[in-house]
Amino acid sequence: MASILPQAFSFSLLFSLVSLLPHLDFCSCSNRKLLNASNSNSNWLLGGATWYGSPDGAGSDGGACGYGNSVEQAPFSSMVSAGGPSLFKSGKGCGACYQVKCTDNAACSGNPVTVVITDECPGGPCLSESVHFDMSGTAFGAMAISGQSNQLRNAGLLQIQYQRVQCNYPGVSVAFHVDAGSNSYYFAVVIEFEDGDGDLGAVDLREAMDSDTWLPMQQSWGAAWKLNSGSELRAPFSLKLKALESGNTLVASDVIPAGWQPGVTYRSLVNF
């Protein structure tokens, strides 16, 4: 050390510098804070957002997923969105939950809100942007600072941040709404309120007294699945649901009872 010190460098100055060493922080804390901030935002992606329908409404009356007026009721409570092709996924994205937030407008709160995909947005910015949410007026306004929902809706088109999240419907059963056109040879059902993954990649049906055979159903449209049978179907029916993204499965055993009726909704407390 002494060999590289200038001759004028005094021993007392060297001692003073050494005495400071216990008080110095070589952890590069500013960089560490930036790293933590980066990690906390690492799951957020960029997308676009618009809104449709009435300012305080649910966007549409049910939408292309087939949920009907339940989009206005709890647990959806109008916090819903139509999705462009990358979100709607030809209907298999129905029921998926996302957190969205905005920061680029003065009326943005920057706080995330959760929306559910319940409809399809087939044109306009939904096609020109790789990821686009066409949100209900209620959901779009929920991204605003308190009292500034109208100002944010007046912006029209926003850049947002989004991330996929688990759906959470405490105390709400998975709903199986039997299509009004169903009969002993044709069974169709709209499925909603799946906790966890939310989306569906496959649905199978098992008849009564047959514990081994699962009959694959076909996606009809949106969240509606159907089975055309060459013979009479024997209830009660169990339904096996497979999530699109994770592949997780759940079984709602005997959820459709013997003597089931078209147009009736049956429920099960299973979840992914």
**How do the domains of the chain map onto residue ranges?**
45-164, 175-267
pLDDT of residue 272: 58
| Distance (Å, whole) CA 211 – CA 101 | 46
Q: Using alpha carbons only, how large is the chain's radius of gyration in Å?
A: 27
Question: Where does 45-164 sit in CATH, by number?
Answer: 2.40.40.10
Q: Which two tokens stand for residue 108?
A: 């943005």
| Distance (Å, whole) CA 185 – CA 205 | 13
Q: Which of 49, 64, 45 is nearest to 133 (CA)?
A: 49
**What strands, in cross-sheet order, belong to the sheet with 249-256?**
215-216, 202-206, 237-242, 249-256
Contact 248, 167 (CB under 8 A): no
153 sits in which H/E element: helix 149-155
163 forms beta bridges with 99
Is the previous residue joined to 22 through a cis bond, with omega within 30 degrees of 0? no
> Is residue 190 classed as helix, strand or coil in its secondary structure?
strand
Question: How many Å separate Cα 10 from the centre of its chain?
Answer: 67
83 sits in which H/E element: strand 80-83
Task: DSSP for 118-150, please give it.
Answer: EEE--STHHHHSSSEEEEEHHHHHTTBPTT-HH
Domain 175-267 matching CATH 3.40.50.720: the answer reads no
Question: Over its length of 272 residues, how does the chain's per-residue pLDDT go in tens digits?
Answer: 433 333 333 333 333 333 333 333 333 333 322 223 233 456 899 999 999 999 998 988 778 999 999 999 999 999 999 999 999 999 999 999 999 999 999 999 999 999 999 999 998 999 999 999 999 999 999 999 999 999 999 999 999 999 999 999 988 899 999 999 999 999 999 999 998 999 999 999 999 977 789 999 999 999 999 999 889 999 999 999 999 989 999 999 999 999 999 999 999 986 65
